Amino acid sequence: MTITPTPVIFGEKSSKPALHWVSSEWRGILAEFVATALLLTFGCMACIPMDDIPASDSIFGPLGFGFTVMFNIQIFGHISGAFMNPFVTIAAVIWGKISIATGVAYILAECAGATLGYGLLTTLAHIDIAAEAVCVTLPRSGINEFQALGVEMVLSAALSLINCGVWDPVNAHNSDSVPLKFAFTIVGLSYAGAHLTGASMNPARSLGPAIWANRWDIHWVYWVGPLVGGVLPAIFYKYVWLRKPDPKLQD
């Protein structure tokens, strides 16, 4: 989600055989698959209702997703970037951190990982979480699809700008606390929007539960909202706020 992965040279790789590309990129692709699977397993595990706490009053879901993002970044950040999110992956392509081919592979891995992660939880939970639509992102009653779209766009925009701030070379010396920064960011944004739309901010995160629960109520919102709300701020930040290195200072 946040860290620049180690294998990042792609102008040279694009002209090499596909086999070489696979041999050099499979670790990152696998890391995105596993990281997103863990995100859904542990994040949605925290969303399983407790007997004495109404689901709408629980902060365990935001905490579960936030802290899972934290340890995923610590584990996988130096391998793939620990994006775990298609819009973050697209932003990484736009910023030139990974190639288009790698970005496509990451997105497919993230969607597959999310599906597997939620599927694993269906076998571990003591209730039928798919039948009860646990962790399925749905707008609350009274919110129309365009309001839900707006909420997802705003939440994703905030997450995207924070992500770009971490990528900014000016903050390169502040990387030690990146996992914690994102943990608390996800907790805060999730708690702010969970009671409105489920605070997805991540198409893959919404896709996995939707497949298992077969719930597709305005599912398009959870793709368009994060992709538009997340990618546009990344473009804006790169071309407006990102300062180019001063050649005089590099001499």
Per residue in 21-72, pLDDT (tens digit) is: 888 899 999 999 999 999 999 999 999 988 766 655 578 999 999 999 999 9
Check residue 215 and give its pLDDT. 95
Name the pLDDT band for 150 (thresholds 50, 70, 90). very high
What sign does the CA torsion over 142, 206, 195, 50 have? positive
Return d(Cα 132, Cα 130) in angstroms, integer: 5
Name the pLDDT band for 174 (thresholds 50, 70, 90). confident
Q: Tell me whether residue 77 is exposed, middle or buried, using C-beta atoms within 10 angstroms of its C-beta: 0 to 12, 13 to 18, 19 or more.
A: buried
Name the pLDDT band for 1 (thresholds 50, 70, 90). low
Q: Which fold has domain 13-250?
A: Glycerol uptake facilitator protein (1.20.1080)
In this prediction the pTM is 0.89
Check residue 18 and give its pLDDT. 78
Check residue 123 and give its pLDDT. 97
For 149, phi then psi, to 5°, come to: -60, -45
Tell the residue number behind the tokens 């571990």, with chain if given: 124
| Domain residue ranges of the chain, discontinuous segments joined by + | 13-250
Across residues 165-169, what is the average pLDDT? 93
Q: What is the rounded radius of gyration, in angstroms, for the C-alpha atoms of the chain? A: 18
Return d(Cα 242, Cα 96) in angstroms, integer: 13
Check residue 57 and give its pLDDT. 56
**CA distances to 105, 158, 249 from 102, in Å:** 5, 25, 33
Check residue 199 and give its pLDDT. 96
Find out whether 56 and 138 touch, Cβ atoms under 8 Å: no
